[in-house]
Structure 1
Amino acid sequence: MLVLVTGATGFLGRRVVPALLERHHQVRCLVRTPGRERVFPPRTVDIQYGDIQNTDALAAALVGVDAVVHLVGTIRRRNKNTYDQVNRQGVANVVAAAKVARIKHLVFVSVIGATSNRSYPYLFSKWQGEREVANSGLSYTIIQSSVIFGAGDEFLNSIAAMVKALPVVTVVGSGRNRLQPIEVEDVARCIAIAVDREELRGKTIELGGPQQISYNEILAIVARTLGKRRLMLHPPVWLMFVVTWALQALPRPPVTLDQLRLLPIRNVAEPDSVEDNFGFTPKPVEGNIEYIRLLTKRDAMSILTGQMPTKIRDH
């Protein structure tokens, strides 16, 4: 089966591509920036240059394709239209081109918490993307993931930056909000399985790791991994909104206002979802984040001042 992967050179995409190859699929990668395809060994994948906003490039990329894995999405807004352009219209463009190409299956990666509530612009845009897929008439699987961790992630590397560089770590609110982090290779494996497993078609499936853990617990795991002990400061949420608003002047702020608004939103999966749907147990956070040890103090300061190191930003 020939599978087109959008967002193929990103944090998740560069794991999805080898996972598909391991399942003996041929892979075509839609690459926006020439040269980024060098993350893959030569002659292992077919490369098509283009962007999901370019309908001609999408049509060319879909010639002869059997299935599509759509990974492109953004949680960071460059302007008020970014979410709509990428997370809704981008999906609509892929769906329209896929219908013309008569593909056999579409796997769309979304997030847990996608909602029709416009008070949460990011989650609303992801919900809109899901509606584009579900109402398309195509065979589809929607994957809703909890927060993803792995080498090159922004999530745990940003926490590690605070632990490395600061004597006291700031935690928004109580820190008791629960997450279910899932390792990036495990997410990629689920996506690859979803491409050709018939019984997953027409489903929306939540992905989470084996543990539902609080932000405080995640921070403690990061500190233990780094061999550090840190005090936690819990300022009220309103104060963090003020601080975060000021940070938006940075080129790439360590946290955005939209991310703060997501704190009270449920971000845990249905129990045993990965085991029940994909037949394996995902890896826990503790014992699988040694990569954060590679973060230098200089990297940490760069993250905290809004200059995400290239090795993380471009991973």
Structure 2
Amino acid sequence: MALRLVTVFGGSGFIGRQIVQRLASEGVRVRVAVRDPIKAAFLKPLGDLGQIAPMKVNVNDEAAVARAVEGADAVVNLIGILYESGRRTFQAMHVDAPERIARLSAAAGVTRFVQMSALGADETSAAKYARTKAQGEAAVRRHIPSASVLRPSVVFGQHDAFFNMFGAMTRLSPVLPYYVKDGFRMTRDAEGNRAIDLGGSGGPRFQPVYVGDVAEAAMACMTREDLQGQTFELGGPRAYTMREIMELVVEQAERHTRVVPVPFWVAKVQASVLQFMPKPLITPDQVKLLETDNIVSGALPGFEALGIEPTAAEAVLPTYMTRFRPHHRNVILRAPQ
């Protein structure tokens, strides 16, 4: 299907800017529905003059949402939060907003709809984040059965809030922690001697996925007939334990930071305090998410069905993690005398 106009909700975010740029490169006009169009003005140079139009939209305002989707060939919803703050609750952002956008999109005749969800979305999950993500998927499908749902694992790229956060921590802290359930226990070595296993299996597993690949997946869902109405699990080519993630960060940052195990009960205590920060480092709900591996199940189609070969984290991290290295941009190379 040839796209002429696409509305992207949350298009000024990390994933959004990639999708907006990808659409613009195909000559599509993009209407970017955001809370603050002035802050989203940086998107305009990603396309030709007038091709990308940020638009002020309050997702709680039905009239504003209806104007945003009017005349669109496709709609992409990227709205999501990692923690609750005031009126921005998981219910409001993950369930009510998608339902409203999908309902008004259907009324406007839109049949191409991409809902950005998350790997691990499950209405029976102990974590409210994962439960509401699944409820949001169901709400969208009630109004637009042909909607495509993307469930990515942790998304990485130049502006991510994952590897960049841990990279920044290497500047300030001598250690990087990883949380384990099966560590700090007595075991026996190969010779039968008693020993203490601190790290266990290395903590929860992740399957980081490159943001450019997620944007390509969204494009495929908007343009290919055979992908309509399906849910896709998006994971990178390799799964890492939390310990391996931290070791990768230290390697890329070229720091002497130590990677150390921490029991899960410590994470719960930390979260009970840190949840009250303006921008929490970790919350009790996120601890519940960490108790389950964030990797593809294999029960749903993934990148292979989309015709996309996922990009390895090791191929991309050196392009932006160098900023955390000691003396970055201040190293003077001299030719040997």
Q: What amino acid maps onto 1:267 in structure 2?
A: N
Q: How does 1:209-224 map to 2 (within 5 A)?
A: 209-224=236-251
Change (3 A) 1:198 1:209: same
Cα deviation code 1:101-127 (max 9, x no counterpart): 011211101011111126311111101
Q: What amino acid maps onto 1:145 in structure 2?
A: P
**1:231 Cα shift?**
2.1
Is residue 190 of structure 1 aligned with residue 197 of structure 2? no
Q: What amino acid maps onto 2:309 in structure 1?
A: T
Answer whether contact 1:148 1:182 (CA < 8 A) is retained: yes
Count matched residues.
297
Is residue 3 of structure 1 aligned with residue 6 of structure 2? yes
Answer whether contact 2:246 2:259 (CA < 8 A) is retained: no
Answer whether contact 1:23 1:192 (CA < 8 A) is retained: no
Residue 93 of structure 2 corresponds to which residue in structure 1?
Answer: 86
Residue 24 of structure 2 corresponds to which residue in structure 1?
Answer: 21
- Can you give the 5+ residue segments of structure 1 that lack an aligned partner in the other structure? 298-315
Q: What amino acid maps onto 1:97 in structure 2?
A: L
Answer whether contact 1:112 1:266 (CA < 8 A) is retained: no
Aligned-partner Cα distance in 1 for 2:304–2:325: 39
Q: What amino acid maps onto 1:249 in structure 2?
A: F
Residue 154 of structure 2 corresponds to which residue in structure 1?
Answer: 147
Residue 282 of structure 1 corresponds to which residue in structure 2?
Answer: 310
Aligned-partner Cα distance in 1 for 2:34–2:148: 23
Scaled by the length of structure 1, the TM-score of the pair is 0.88
Q: How does 1:107-256 map to 2 (within 5 A)?
A: 107-117=114-124, 119-173=126-180, 174=199, 175-256=202-283
Choose which of 26, 33, 38 in structure 2 pairs with 1:35.
Answer: 38
Answer whether contact 1:146 1:179 (CA < 8 A) is retained: yes
Q: What amino acid maps onto 1:168 in structure 2?
A: V
Q: Counterpart of 1:135 in 2: which secondary structure?
A: helix
Q: What amino acid maps onto 1:210 in structure 2?
A: P
Q: Counterpart of 2:294 in 1: which secondary structure?
A: coil
Cα deviation code 1:185-234 (max 9, x no counterpart): 11111111111111111100100111111111111111111112332222
Change (3 A) 1:46 1:184: same
Change (3 A) 1:61 1:137: closer
Cα deviation code 1:37-69 (max 9, x no counterpart): 312215221332112111111111112111101
Aligned-partner Cα distance in 2 for 1:268–1:168: 26
**1:159 Cα shift?**
1.3
Residue 293 of structure 1 corresponds to which residue in structure 2?
Answer: 322
Residue 64 of structure 2 corresponds to which residue in structure 1?
Answer: 57
Residue 262 of structure 1 corresponds to which residue in structure 2?
Answer: 289
Answer whether contact 1:158 1:254 (CA < 8 A) is retained: no
Answer whether contact 2:37 2:55 (CA < 8 A) is retained: no
Q: What amino acid maps onto 1:129 in structure 2?
A: G
Aligned-partner Cα distance in 1 for 2:158–2:284: 25
Q: What amino acid maps onto 1:292 in structure 2?
A: M
Aligned-partner Cα distance in 2 for 1:182–1:54: 33
Computed over aligned residues only, the root mean square deviation of the Cα atoms, in angstroms, reads 2.0
Choose which of 105, 110, 132 in structure 2 pairs with 1:103.
Answer: 110
Q: In percent, how many aligned pairs have the same letter?
A: 30
Q: Counterpart of 2:23 in 1: which secondary structure?
A: helix
